[in-house]
Amino acid sequence: MGGDRDGNPRVTPEVTRDVCLLARMMAANLYFSQIEDLMFELSMWRCSDELRIRADELHRSSKKDAKHYIEFWKQIPPNEPYRVILGDVRDKLYNTRERARSLLANGFSDIPEEAAFTNVEQFLEPLELCYRSLCACGDRPIADGSLLDFLRQVSTFGLSLVRLDIRQESDRHTDVLDAITKHLDIGSYREWPEERRQEWLLSELGGKRPLFGPDLSKTEEVADVLDTFHVISELPSDSFGAYIISMATAPSDVLAVELLQRECRVKQPLRVVPLFEKLADLEAAPAAVARLFSIDWYRDRINGKQEVMIGYSDSGKDAGRLSAAWQLYKAQVELVKVAKQYGVKLTMFHGRGGTVGRGGGPTHLAILSQPPDTIHGSLRVTVQGEVIEQSFGEEHLCFRTLQRFTAATLEHGTHPPVSPNPEWRALMDEMAVVATKEYRSVVFQEPRFVEYFRLATPELEYGRMNIGSRPSKRKPSGGIESLRAIPWIFAWTQTRFHLPVWLGFGAAFKHVIQKDIKNLHMLQEMYNQWPFFRVTMDLIEMVFAKGDPGIAALYDKLLVSKELWPFGENLRANYEDTRRLVLQVAGHRDLLEGDPYLKQRLRLRDAYITTLNVCQAYTLKRIRDPDYHVKVRPHLSREYKESSKAAAELVKLNPTSEYAPGLEDTLILTMKGIAAGMQNTG
């Protein structure tokens, strides 16, 4: 939050700056209370000579009483050396906190930087001195208590509490460089071919002269990108993690960010992470990364380490779940080969969503289904907004989630999953082509698909409501291609149809089975022996267990114009065919027969979610057709009539809504309820 600006106009450079300063202030505040506890605890006078000398120096130079502290506000006597040392740490933490507070409030601070902690080593050094002294004096059990806990916390969270990743779309960097090249009268960067872009970027990175001055003419978008880089240069480097380029396609995208960091005088440049998302970008990713590694300047810059992010959400939206999952698998295998060839340690960063259509699924299985050699004891995974609470909302959940990640990562390293044999790979390649064609023929080539999608789902209403993490589209105009992956998946989840998850599977299975019945046996063999294929199939089966084409038919009947009804009927027939084929390949007679526990949990939820679906469908009808009235049976009870005044008061709760009273609240409640009911179980 505050770092990911990809298409979100509300994440401004000022927001990024404020988030970093707030985090520093909060970190100092949390440490401050623990330092006071340690000052109470470490009252002993026995210490090492090293600590005694330091304590005496500090005692001589310490100021008068500090009345702004609740405890230990008088000057600490020299016969309490640990308290003298910790008192100095407390003074600096106080200054660190107050400096961050005044920078946040006023943009400047009277407290000089040298009076506060500027890096974590300064903070750790006196604490480690206390630890060494306690051990040397035979007080090891005390040293290994609260002090060691505190040392571990400081080492983990530093002074910044969190390292903020900055994320921006590649197109926005192209806009900035285009403005610069036009300003320099050397042409339009946007129109240059990839080779020319790389050549120019590398020549500038090798040079020393600044590219532009204050006279550069800037649009609002260009200024926003440059201001973000200036914020990165002004704040301490430990505030930031990686700079992620979404929709990355080529080596020039990475070099562009490197050049902009240098131009904006970022003293310790952030590591640059390309995010490959769409199918074509994933296919081209290994070649793009190999080109970067072949550049001497770039290899010197990365010091043998590279992080690459792969996107599950947009690849699924672009080509469907089957093709996306297979291309993500292949891209990882090829990227690992490239990294080995150039002697670079590669960290894969998985941009998974919470739902199956966005790469979600049970953590343990998802990690174990990764290709061999892609997890060497380390991986990065995004935890999306919609699943943060269910994974980290309570202390015991945090531990369980972290245990799952750790166990699966270790297991993947000690017992790597099997590599697919060549026949399996060839069959997957063939199926992926058919699945992509089927998916795109419906979603992108069917002339009335967008109209049907907007009528049959609550997508438009969702876009208007403030319950997403950012605007529902990257660009205000445009169809499905500009729609973000979250509302795309969310809208189909609401109607229990889950189209983006299963569309393409049926056509792919039908094609290979009709071609040769032996392929069915091969698919069943793949299901039983290959973790990647099994996890993919099990997740689709789970989605079918949650789906209900009857509910989708109700939305069609109430909300879709009659001439589009046959279109919905064809899609539902496709749904049933795909479900039958998935069961056939898995060798199951019924959905989830291999997981009766999950089946029972979904059955328990069903009655509640169906009620919400019906309520939502009728609410949408009333929103879109104000003349439509749901008939209520006349025999209302006396109690209801007496309480109707309270009901009338309730519908005034949302006075800013453009809809009739109560409708927006009802819609939000049904949306959140259905989303909760559809969350991955297991």
- For 451-476, the pLDDT digits (tens) are 999 999 998 888 776 666 566 566 65
Token pair in block for residue 542: 């789970």
Catalytic residue, chosen from 317, 515, 557, 562, is 317
pTM: 0.88
pLDDT at res. 657? 67
Indicate the domain borders of the chain.
13-157, 164-310
Among positive and negative, which fits the CA dihedral 661, 665, 667, 669? negative
Burial of 252: CB neighbours in 10 Å, binned 0-12, 13-18, 19+? buried
Q: Token pair 């995004």 is at which residue?
A: 382
DSSP character for 591? T
Quick one: pLDDT band at residue 682, thresholds 50, 70, 90? very low
The pLDDT score that the predictor gives to residue 47 is: 95
Residue 272, pLDDT above cutoff 70: yes
Cβ atoms of 326 and 367 within 8 Å: the answer is: no
Under 8 Å between Cβ of 535 and 366: yes
d(CA 49, CA 163): 37
* pLDDT of 514 above 90: yes
Q: What is the 3-state secondary structure (H, E, C) of 333-383?
A: HHHHHHHHHHCCEEEEEEECCCCHHHCCCCHHHHHHCCCCCCCCCCCEECC
Range from 29-33, 614-618, 624-628, 668-672 carrying the lowest mean pLDDT: 624-628
Structural tokens at position 425 = 């790979």
Tokens of 199: 């050549």
Distances, alpha carbon 394 to alpha carbons 161, 587, 675, 681, in Å: 19, 38, 20, 17
Q: Is the pLDDT of residue 681 over 60?
A: no
**Res 180 pLDDT > 50:** yes
Query: Would you say residue 608 has pLDDT above 90?
Result: yes
pLDDT at residue 474 in the model: 60
Picking from 63-77, 116-130, 253-267, which range would have the lowest pLDDT averaged per residue? Answer: 63-77
Task: Read off the pLDDT of each residue in 9-27 and give the average, rounded to a whole number.
Answer: 94
For the residues 193-221, what does the mean pLDDT come to?
Answer: 92
The distance of Cα 70 from the centroid of its chain, to the nearest Å, equals 41
Q: Please report the pLDDT score of residue 585 as a whole number.
A: 95
Q: b or e along 99-127 (b: 16 or more beta carbons within 10 Å of the residue's beta carbon)?
A: bbbbbbeeeebebeeeebbeebeebbebb
Per the model's pLDDT, the better-predicted residue between 389 and 642 turns out to be: 389
Instruction: Please give the share of the chain, as a percent, with pLDDT higher than 70.
Output: 90
- Please state, rounded to an integer, the average pLDDT across all residues of the chain: 89
Reply yes or no on whether the pLDDT at 621 is more than 80: yes
80, two tokens: 């309490």
User: Average pLDDT, stretch 264-291?
Assistant: 95
Q: Which of 32-41, 364-373, 563-572, 645-654 has the lowest mean pLDDT?
A: 645-654
Task: Provide the pLDDT for residue 15.
Answer: 96
State yes or no: is 672 an active-site residue. Answer: no
- φ, ψ of residue 64 to 5 degrees: the values are -70, -175
Cβ atoms of residues 486 and 469 within 8 Å: yes
The Cα 275–Cα 209 span in angstroms is 30
**Among candidates 370, 433, 366, which has minimal Cα distance to 405?**
366
CATH architecture of the domain formed by 13-157: Up-down Bundle (1.20)
